[in-house]
Structure 1
Amino acid sequence: MKKYYFVGIGGSGMNPLAQIMRQRGNWVGGSDRNYDRGTTAALFEKLRQQGIHLFSQDGSGITPDIDAIVVSTAIEPHNVELQQARTLVIPVIHRSDLLADMFNHAFGIAIGGTSGKTTVTGMVAAILDCAGKDPTVINGGIMKQYATESRIGNAKGGSSGIMIIETDESDGSITKFHPRISVITNIAKDHKEIAELQRLFQIFADHTTDTLILNNDCPVTRSIAGSRVITFGMSASSDITIEPLQISASGIRFAALGATFQLNIPGMHNVYNAAAAIAVAVTLDIPVFAIQQGVAEFRGIQRRLELVSMINGIQVVDDFAHNPDKIAASIKTLKSMGERLTVIYQPHGYGPTRFLLDELAACFSVSLRPSDTLFLLPIFDAGGTADRSISSLDLAQKIRGPQVTCAPERNSVLEQVAACAQTGDVIAVMGARDDTLSSFAQALADTLRARPTR
């Protein structure tokens, strides 16, 4: 047994890895700013229930008997716990190196791409479970099929040698993995420019030892080369061709592999995600009936077009979309669910907002109608030494088309939305990195429920 201490253990890339390390018999502890602040208490309670030790992020949890300090890219060099680790000469390793060491010794299936990789990871896991493969799964989002009273749902230990992971291109760590099977869902500007993303994904493809699976309908993804490639898409030249048969607000029936599949989550983008997962299953020679069962039983990912509540014909949705491609795909689906759309968007960081400012403005301008409303919350501040010289107002000034309001804080949005919402409306809370957005979406539903009947 080794002792691992995770600095920022609440992070979406950190806590699933911590859970797997604990399930493998190691001592695991960690700290997090949100734990100190008393936010997202349910997440930390589930970590504690799994035998993970939690400490204040003040250095008190760093002791000489710890074998390794695990950090992510979000942890800054001046962090007090890193200083304590250096004083005690404890090795510091990046989360991606720890994950790569586990993954590269397994039968690895790695899911990458700008958008959809969390959902594809969950879908592949559901299909492999139905086929009796019992994989280990490490994901950046909460897979509903694994969430319990004591399990967060973003990690599952398995009994087989198969490991499925979501990979991250934002910090370049995707190049550390050597998968047997890899998937690239799509490539679009996010975190980095297209040329740099192509370079990273080509290295990822070169490291793939068996099969590379590509979205044939994404021109940039098609530029990635591999020795053994399987493509998916709606175009006839795809190796696995998908054809939508029946689309509804609750799911989509589609054809592939000469069979019919029922997907019980909304959005055409999720048909592409399902096609990627089907391609993985085909590569593993999983029978079609097991693939059909896995796709049908997949319950979705938390905060991906998740219906929070329906109040008098008004739908409140919680959604993770934060880059232009994800936002456009979500809005397309949301518009099909009701008559009028209100989006409450929280930009997920100063750097990303500055980098994607023009693309975000164009996305909202094109995707939203004049009858739709967009509320922009203040940019999410994760702390640290970020350049805070940009604000949501800079984004608002570039948007044309929908009604746009910059809100100084969340309570004012609750009041304005509650005052105007009417039957047939869809109201979506949208943004990433901030787990309190889900609580805000629930508060919005509660506010609508409490208002006088009209």
Structure 2
Amino acid sequence: MRLPWKYFHFVGIGGIGMSGLAQVLTDLGFKVTGSDISENALTQLLKKRGVKVFLGHRPEQVKLAEAVVVSSAISRDNPEWKSARENNIPVISRGMLLSYLMDQKRGIAVAGTHGKTTTSALISTILKSSGLDPMAIIGGMVNGSNAWLGRGDYLVAEADESDGSFLLLSPEIAVITNIDADHLDYYKTFLSIKAAFSRFINNILPSGVAVICGDDPHLKGIVSKAKRPYISYGLSEDCHYQAKGLLLNNQITQFDVYGYGKKIGSVSLRLLGIHNVYNALAAFAVAQRLGIPPEITIKGLGQFNGVARRLEIKGEKRKILIIDDYGHHPTEIRAVLSTIKKNWPKRRLITVFQPHRYTRTKMLYKEFLTAFLKTDLLIITEVYAASESPIPGVSGEWLARGIKIPKKKRFCRDLDDAFEYLLPELRPYDIVLTLGAGDIWKLGEMLLAEL
């Protein structure tokens, strides 16, 4: 694979998207270094692959690099970014680097507000099962990694709409799982979000196709005006690929797949929830487009064990079940709570939610107020800031005060505070759900160690 540079330095290499690109470049034989403010599992994984990872951002760490890669979380006054500019070293975005890779492959880009990671992982798993050996760059951990090289023709990657960088991609197949109000700090209005997805569809290669959720009214409106053909999936009768005969109880997800009105086969998933039926349908539609035999697709779907932090069962002690999920948007929260209640209807559900970003907490405040109706006890921690500065008046406590249902709720400043409150509160057959895109997952491990 050819790129304009041979030595890349990643600023913020420990992020899920940045680390995946760094892994792929390392496996391709490029020299890769990077920096981050702290160590995590991803930086440790990169170190094992021979990548030099610096702790902290310092100007001298980029001076030998031929290109510096940054994500939207990195500000222009970062000392390494400033040093690159002063030394005339090209600074490229994560999205631009992904576009360089995708331009040399047959790209399958997965976009949408919810479900990108699981759908990308399902598509990659099916392609691997069929012998197509794809390159994959995924926004979550699957079997211990978020990227693999692959020697085949395809690149499966998440297309990040949060900063508009998905508009740099020109895939052969673009999957769009749904469109919802999110990242309003960047887009300002929902109309702008829809306009961006419209442009994304029109960026598909002329020989390509969009694969869209036909049950999403916003997507149906967009594709009707698009310049590219589309394939739809969903539960509605007018979808090209449809799931029927759903069985979502007893921790089993089963359904029949129909394509263009004819039954293709029956799928059994190890994943829970109606949202994962949609994710699996999207992957099935892609596989059909690529000519993969249905029996291989069904086998791949059945063998998939899930993505870390997506309804992940962390363990059970003293008959107390600990589940962790990455959900941080009101729509995702509702889906996760509904799925747990459907599969464990008689157990008390305790949800510990860590809001992610001040801007999201402020802009989706009204939606958050009704997102937790299906939990029995709600604990809200302080906002996980990510790269943001605090917004006056916006806090976890402010959000907790506004929520009326469930009536039993509590604000806890941090994980230690939540741990001290929860431990004596727990009783057999409780389910504790840790929820959020920050470091709330650590609480589940703290509880399992103590129970």
CA contact (8 A) 2:320 2:430 kept: yes
Residues of 2 paired with 1:125 and 1:354: CA distance?
36
Partner of 2:165: 173
Q: Distance in 1 between matches of 2:80 and 2:449?
A: 40
Gaps of 5+ in 2: none
Alignment partner of 1:358 out of 351, 357, 366? 366
Partner letter of residue 414 of structure 1? F
Find the aligned partners of 2:400 and 2:393 in 1 and give their Cα distance: 15
User: Residue 229 of structure 1 corresponds to which residue in structure 2?
Assistant: 230
Contact 1:20 1:157 in 2 (8 A): yes
CA distance in 2, matches of 1:237, 1:213: 14
Please list every run of 5 or more consecutive structure 1 residues that lacks an aligned counterpart in the other structure.
148-152, 450-454
Deviations along 1:308-367, one digit per CA (max 9) or x if unpaired, are 111232210011000011111101112123321111010111111111111111222xx3
1:268 counterpart = 2:274: yes
Note the 1:190-229 alignment, pairs <5 A.
Answer: 190-192=182-184, 193-209=189-205, 210-225=208-223, 226=226, 227-229=228-230
Equivalent AA in structure 2 for residue 91 of structure 1: P
User: 2:19·2:42 contact (CA, 8 Å) conserved in 1?
Assistant: no
Q: Report the Cα distance in structure 2 between the residues aligned to 1:199 and 1:349, rounded to whole angstroms.
A: 24
Which of 413, 417, 420 is the matching residue for 1:412? 417
**Deviation, structure 1 residue 375:** 0.5
Cα distance between partner residues in 1 of 2:431 and 2:250: 12
- Distance of aligned partners of 1:363 and 1:76 in 2 relative to their CA distance in 1, 3 Å threshold: same
Alignment of 1:35-434 (within 5 A): 35=39, 40=40, 42-59=41-58, 61-144=60-143, 147=144, 153-192=145-184, 193-209=189-205, 210-225=208-223, 226=226, 227-257=228-258, 258=263, 259-338=265-344, 339-364=347-372, 367-369=373-375, 372-383=376-387, 385-387=389-391, 389-402=393-406, 403-432=408-437, 434=438
**Structure 1 residue identity aligned to 2:118:** T
Distance 2:242 2:414 in 1: 46
Matched, 1:3 2:12: no
SS of structure 2 residue aligned to 1:248: coil
Which whole-Å CA distance do the structure 2 matches of 1:63 and 1:376 have between them? 40
Q: For 2:214, give the aligned amino acid.
A: N
Q: Output one character per residue of 1:132-165: Cα deviation in whole Å (capped at 9) or x when no partner.
A: 1000000111123xx2xxxxx1101010120000
Greater Cα offset, 416-425 or 263-272: 416-425
Contact kept in structure 1, 2:357 and 2:388, CA below 8 Å: no
Matched, 1:24 2:24: no
Structure 2 contact 62–80 (Cα < 8 Å) conserved? no
One-letter amino acid of the structure 2 residue matched with residue 234 of structure 1: L
Alignment CA distance shift 1:63-1:10 (3 Å) = closer
Which residue identity is paired with 1:287?
A: P
Secondary structure of the 1:142 match is strand
**TM-score, length-scaled by structure 2:** 0.92
Which residue type is aligned with residue 356 of structure 2? H
Amino acid in structure 1 at the alignment position of 2:230: V
- 1:150 corresponding residue in structure 2: none
Task: Check whether the contact 2:126–2:300 (CA below 8 A) recurs between aligned residues.
Answer: yes
Q: CA deviation at 1:108?
A: 0.3
* One-letter amino acid matched to 1:180: E
Structure 1 pair 272/241, CA: closer, same or farther in 2 (3 Å)? same
Q: What SS is found at the alignment partner of 2:174?
A: strand
Q: Do the aligned partners of 1:307 and 1:318 also contact (CA within 8 Å) in 2?
A: yes
Amino acid across the alignment from 1:429: T
Distance 1:90 1:385 in 2: 29
Q: What's the Cα RMSD here?
A: 1.5
Identity of aligned residues (%): 33
1:446 is aligned to 2:444:
no
**TM-score, normalisation: structure 1:** 0.91
What amino acid sits opposite 1:100 in the alignment?
S
Counterpart amino acid of 2:211?
A: I
Deviation at 1:61, TM superposition (A): 5.0
Deviation at 1:217, TM superposition (A): 1.0
Rounded to whole Å, the distance in 2 between the matches of 1:114 and 1:378 is: 24
Deviates more, 1:330-339 or 1:59-68: 59-68
The CA distance in 2 between the partners of 1:163 and 1:395, in whole Å, is 40
Aligned pair count reads 430
Shift of 1:431: 0.5
